[in-house]
Structure 1
Amino acid sequence: MPLETEAKRISDPIDLEKAFAIRREVFVDGQNCPPDLESEFNDDATHFLATVEGQPAGAARYRKTDKGYKLERFAVLDKYRGYGIGQALIKAVLADLPAHATYVYLHAQVQAVGLYEKFGFKPSGPQFEEAGIQHYKMVKED
């Protein structure tokens, strides 16, 4: 039986702390990302939380930059990987972008490139390192 999953925009401080806790576990604890780098721009971003059966499972955000709209900090807890949480978060974030968001991009960890390609993102430029992890810049093309 499929599990009930939901991904939605959040602003409540309790929900925000759940999202930040997921990101800390995935990025800071799991990938050794510096805490100050992981949390930079939080105040400028629109945040999302994904749940499975009501339990926090994933997080993401987007923010306006001088280039366009950047999707960031997609994180899914280990025990919820493989349940479509990443896809649900991408769908929720894309649906929430302003209608005038014509340039939409992200920095994808190498292993996640295929996931973002399913949503019309294409690699743009060479592979690069960010926070000690290999990434590709990807731009939404459709």
Structure 2
Amino acid sequence: MAFVPSLPLPTLSSSSAAPFRSSKRPFKPVHTRVIRASRSESSPTESAGQVRRAKNPKELHLLYAVWNAVASDEGLPSLAPDELDAASSTVHLIARAPDRSVSGAARLVRTGQNARLDRVAVLPKWRGKGVGRALVDRLLVLAAPVEGAIYVNATRGEMGFFSILGFETLGNEFIDGIVQMRTMVYRTPVCAPASGCVGLHHTSVRVSDIERSLAFYGSLGFAVTDKFVTGGGQRACYVEGLGTRLEFVEANDGHGGLSGLQGVPHTGFDRLVFDVTKACTDLETFLQHLERRNGGMMNVAAQPAKQVAGSHVVSVASVYDPDALPIDFIRREAQVPSELRTKVDW
């Protein structure tokens, strides 16, 4: 598989391979965001050999031997250790072939709340044997706990490989050094709201009496998960039950309703809100991507802006569907520390 370095740095020589260790637990490739954590440090596959973490400077030296061999084969600048290697959040992976020789390397880099698959490289001799896929599978398991997106910056030649494994292009091409690249984000299926996957975050419902609504929906099995006050001073809360999440916002305009579309007061359904935290690295790029997919036509009601929603700081953008129904997209940017949260006394 191709590999694109990010910095033109000098080459390191290789070193002898560390002892090979087998694992009793086979690693199973996973391609949904609901990824079960691996119980084993090593992950063998039948043809690819073994993928596990690099644990010491000697093995890090072996990784750079792989990266520089691939860079040389493709006519690209060589690499040397950088500040990301020393970061406590960075994870290095080494792949070993059945004959115990080193066959590939990769690393996982944290960028804020996101995780980037970086320097996924396989030596020419071992390409087409599942080594690249085994490295990516392992990286996805390690990246699963992140709050944000899992992504990779891929060259044109790599995009087909990553698309097969569940990645989708997002944003425009950019130049990294001397190579054209595009960001690809790992896509996930629609899932239950509590699991934190990409999908419907909640349905917003405007109510005339929030206590009365809580009593009714409580009888249906819904429970309050978060209380807050909106920017307009309305009492609001999230409730979960029956496999979904609702947001109640109480009417307080003095006329039994809140201002809805075109300023018409109403209660009832307000809007669909989709959580795309794990589907993009930022909301601006996500909207541009949607606009391109819709032929350049997108009725944007509100550009991305940050606000506090319950226990999170979120970016929010709004669009209208073809029937002028509002749809919000939110991206969780940070969690509000408990000591800074506004006390809700209703």
TM-score, normalized by length of structure 2?
0.38
| Greater mean alpha carbon deviation, residues 9-18 or residues 96-105 | 96-105
Higher helix proportion: 1
Cα deviation for residue 67 of structure 1 reads: 5.2
- Is contact 1:34–1:131 with CA below 8 Å preserved after alignment? no
Give 1:21's aligned residue. 65
Structure 2 portions without partners, runs of 5+:
1-45, 189-346
| Greater mean alpha carbon deviation, residues 2-11 or residues 101-110 | 2-11
Q: Which amino acid aligns with 2:97?
A: V
| Greater mean alpha carbon deviation, residues 124-133 or residues 104-113 | 124-133
Structure 2 CA distance, aligned partners of 1:43 and 1:114? Answer: 31
Between 1 and 2, higher relative CO (CA 8 Å, sep ≥ 6) is seen in: 1
Structure 1 CA distance, aligned partners of 2:83 and 2:72? Answer: 13
Structure 2 CA distance, aligned partners of 1:85 and 1:136? Answer: 23
1:33 and 2:77 correspond = yes
**SS of 1:108 mapped into structure 2:** strand
TM-score, normalized by length of structure 1?
0.86
Give 1:7's aligned residue. 51
Question: Number of matched residues?
Answer: 140
Mapping 1:98-109, distance limit 5 Å: 98-109=144-155
Cα deviation for residue 4 of structure 1 reads: 5.3
**SS of 2:61 mapped into structure 1:** helix
**Structure 1 residues 101 and 52 mapped into 2: Cα distance closer, same or farther (>3 Å)?**
farther
Q: Which amino acid aligns with 1:140?
A: Y
**What percent of counterpart residues are identical?**
26
The structure whose Rg is larger is 2
Cα deviation for residue 14 of structure 1 reads: 2.1
Cα deviation for residue 115 of structure 1 reads: 1.3
Give 2:221's aligned residue. none
1:49 and 2:66 correspond = no
Mapping 1:43-122, distance limit 5 Å: 43-44=86-87, 45-53=90-98, 54-66=100-112, 68-122=114-168
Runs of 4+ in 1 over 4 A off after TM superposition: none
**SS of 2:119 mapped into structure 1:** strand
- Aligned CA RMSD, in angstroms, stands at 2.1
Cα deviation for residue 16 of structure 1 reads: 1.5
